[in-house]
């Protein structure tokens, strides 16, 4: 343990903590150097994704003091850019989310900032919407998305409703660093703030306006049978009210809510990892879907910005990947806009660099421009903002990322599982009316364009030593470019940290015109690729493989060879 860590630890020990759980935890680790070091060796990282970390005591944990410090720093920044500052706040079902949200509200109010806070837990996209709808200078949502229950987080949004950009994050971080964790700055009591009016609950009118905005994304008519049986689970999170209200408002009333997972619960008892990407999280919902005879299960993650689906296949259900749903939605929305005569001139599809290139193949056939952006929906939001600035926001068709995030409208600047659920319900009903399952439609796309297999592997690196190990692995790949991987030629290397695209055969280099990011992408012979990137929100190094082949069996065989080769260097 270094001297700085010891000093930080001693500062916390001498502070008069008001949270009994933090006091007890601090006492319990007194003779455990590793536990102390992990909690105090650094400040909880703040970046474009805000804060995210394990709940507990210490500078490297989520607690009322680290949230308070970040909030005071954000308040200082907002006051530096606005004469009549306003902020919006939302929170999810995680442990202490409401506590952190109200603490932040009191700190903002203490800094003279008008606060609008949702009265009940609400999805991430509703925060993005409220920021724009109420003319705020920014906003926060307290959430750790789909992480396990020991985590919580704090995402920051700008006045455009988009997660903050790098330069703004740096300015806020400078302000945060100027704040002492235990500084005695003004904090308005939450209830007193409500009485005085400096803190105000977001109105029901704003909720209705959000649902109305989602409802504009309608691509089927009343001629389609909307009485299809849909099973839905919010995975103990925020989606229940918004998703069911939106679906019912638009004619989808035959919804079976998975009651066991309907009530908010930060322990996520039947799905310890509440991520709709994995089958374990959906097992309870799948059981209900089978019992009630539903042909589809829709599941939203705890903060309802991601949505996953499982579709009936024989006697069981098949989970669809985020890439597969995104490709299906690209084709469905384009097809319906053409049929309805509302396809704009020069339409735009936006996806991330780790998202399937099959979407581009589909988009090309409709004359849709595809824009690739860095991983993170804020970059998709930036593209929407750019189109809006140019007076061309109607060109925006759809944005999606492989991690189950979708948005077809411009009313928010983040992925929206309320919108995603509504789009999926429409698509499901449309094809069912034609006697087709979503699986049959997907197979038709594979038959037309070839099979595309996308896989993701995550490697955990906890603590200070883990972070160093991740850096070493990325440096090794960056400084030792392979000429082939598992016998497949590497044609091109895209290093997004150096903004350089290199063709291996000629050595020719081109500039990548995207923000710098610690990501390496290998373009392989045969329209396949491999991407390495450290997670921005978890202590994980992620490997994304995209394999193109003539059929599924050959794609999986090739994927296995490439994965096995790369895994040797990621342990």
Tokens of 288: 């209900």
For 97, 192, 195, the CA distances from 188, given in Å and listed in that order, are 18, 7, 11
Q: Which stretches of 352-437 are DSSP H helices? A: 358-365, 377-389, 417-433
Contact by Cβ (8 Å): 366, 397: no
Main-chain dihedrals φ then ψ at residue 303, nearest 5 degrees? -100, 10
Catalytic residue among 93, 145, 149, 517: 145
Contact by Cβ (8 Å): 439, 318: yes
Place of tokens 């925060």: 127
Beta-carbon count within 10 A of 491 CB = 17
Residue 167 contacts by C-beta under 8 Å, 6 or more apart in sequence? Answer: none
Tokens of 371: 């824009």
Q: Which helix (H) or strand (E) holds 291?
A: helix 279-292
Query: Has 145 been annotated as catalytic?
Result: yes
Tokens of 507: 């050595």
Place of tokens 């019992």: 291
Work out the end-to-end distance of the chain between its first and last CA atoms, rounded to an integer number of angstroms: 25
Contact by Cβ (8 Å): 141, 105: no
Instruction: Give which of 42, 35, 31, 34 is closest to 7, Cα–Cα.
Output: 42
Contact by Cβ (8 Å): 418, 203: no
Contact by Cβ (8 Å): 268, 274: yes
Tokens of 350: 């936006």
Just list the catalytic residues: 145
């Amino acid at each position: 343990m270094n001297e700085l860590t010891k000093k930080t630890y001693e500062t916390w020990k001498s502070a008069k903590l008001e949270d009994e759980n933090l006091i007890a935890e601090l006492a319990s680790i007194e003779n455990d150097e590793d536990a102390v070091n992990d909690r105090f060796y650094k400040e909880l990282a703040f970046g474009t994704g805000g804060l995210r970390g394990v709940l507990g005591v210490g500078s490297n944990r989520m607690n009322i003091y680290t949230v308070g410090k970040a909030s005071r720093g954000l308040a200082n920044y907002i006051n530096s850019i606005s004469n009549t500052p306003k902020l919006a706040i939302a929170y999810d079902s995680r442990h202490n989310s409401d506590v952190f949200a109200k603490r932040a509200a009191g700190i903002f109010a203490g800094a003279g900032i008008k606060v609008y806070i949702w009265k009940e837990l609400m999805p991430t996209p509703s925060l993005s919407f409220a920021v724009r709808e109420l003319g705020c200078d920014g906003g926060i949502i307290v959430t750790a998305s789909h992480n396990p229950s020991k985590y919580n987080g704090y995402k920051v949004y700008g006045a455009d409703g988009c997660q903050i950009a790098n330069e703004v994050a740096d300015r806020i971080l400078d302000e945060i660093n100027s704040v002492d964790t235990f500084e005695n700055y003004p904090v308005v009591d939450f209830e007193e703030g409500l009485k005085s009016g400096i803190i105000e609950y977001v109105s029901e009118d704003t909720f209705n306006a959000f649902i109305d905005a989602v409802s504009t994304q309608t691509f089927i008519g009343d001629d389609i049978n909307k009485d299809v049986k849909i099973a839905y689970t919010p995975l103990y999170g925020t989606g229940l009210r918004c998703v069911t209200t939106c679906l019912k408002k638009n004619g989808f009333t035959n919804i079976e809510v998975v009651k066991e997972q309907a009530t908010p619960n930060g322990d996520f008892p039947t799905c310890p990892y509440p991520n709709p990407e994995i089958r374990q999280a959906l097992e309870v919902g799948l059981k209900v879907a089978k019992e009630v005879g539903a042909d589809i299960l829709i599941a939203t993650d705890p903060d309802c910005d991601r949505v996953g689906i499982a579709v009936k296949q024989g006697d069981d259900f098949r989970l669809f990947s985020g890439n597969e749903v995104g490709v299906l939605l690209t084709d469905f929305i384009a097809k319906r806009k053409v049929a309805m005569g509302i396809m704009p001139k020069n339409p735009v599809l936006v996806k991330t660099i780790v998202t399937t290139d099959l979407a581009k193949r589909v988009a090309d056939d409709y004359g849709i421009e595809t824009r690739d952006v860095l991983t993170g929906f804020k970059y998709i939001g930036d593209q929407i903002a750019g189109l809006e600035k140019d007076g061309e926001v109607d060109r925006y068709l759809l944005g999606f990322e492989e991690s189950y995030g979708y948005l077809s409208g411009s009313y928010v600047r983040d992925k929206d599982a309320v919108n995603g659920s509504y789009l999926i319900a429409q698509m499901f009903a449309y094809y069912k009316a034609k006697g087709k399952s979503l699986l049959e439609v997907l197979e038709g796309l594979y038959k037309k364009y070839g099979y595309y297999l996308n896989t993701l592997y995550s490697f955990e690196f906890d603590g200070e030593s883990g972070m160093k190990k991740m850096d070493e692995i990325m440096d090794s790949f960056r400084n030792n470019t392979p000429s082939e991987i598992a016998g497949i030629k590497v044609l091109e290397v895209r290093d997004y940290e150096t903004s350089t695209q290199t063709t291996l055969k000629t050595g020719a280099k081109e500039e990548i015109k995207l923000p710098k990011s610690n990501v390496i992408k290998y373009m392989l012979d045969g329209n396949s690729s491999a991407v390495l990137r450290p997670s921005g929100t978890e202590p994980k190094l992620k490997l994304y493989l995209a394999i193109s082949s003539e059929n599924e069996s050959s794609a999986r065989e090739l994927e296995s060879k490439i994965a096995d080769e790369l895994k040797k260097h990621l342990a």
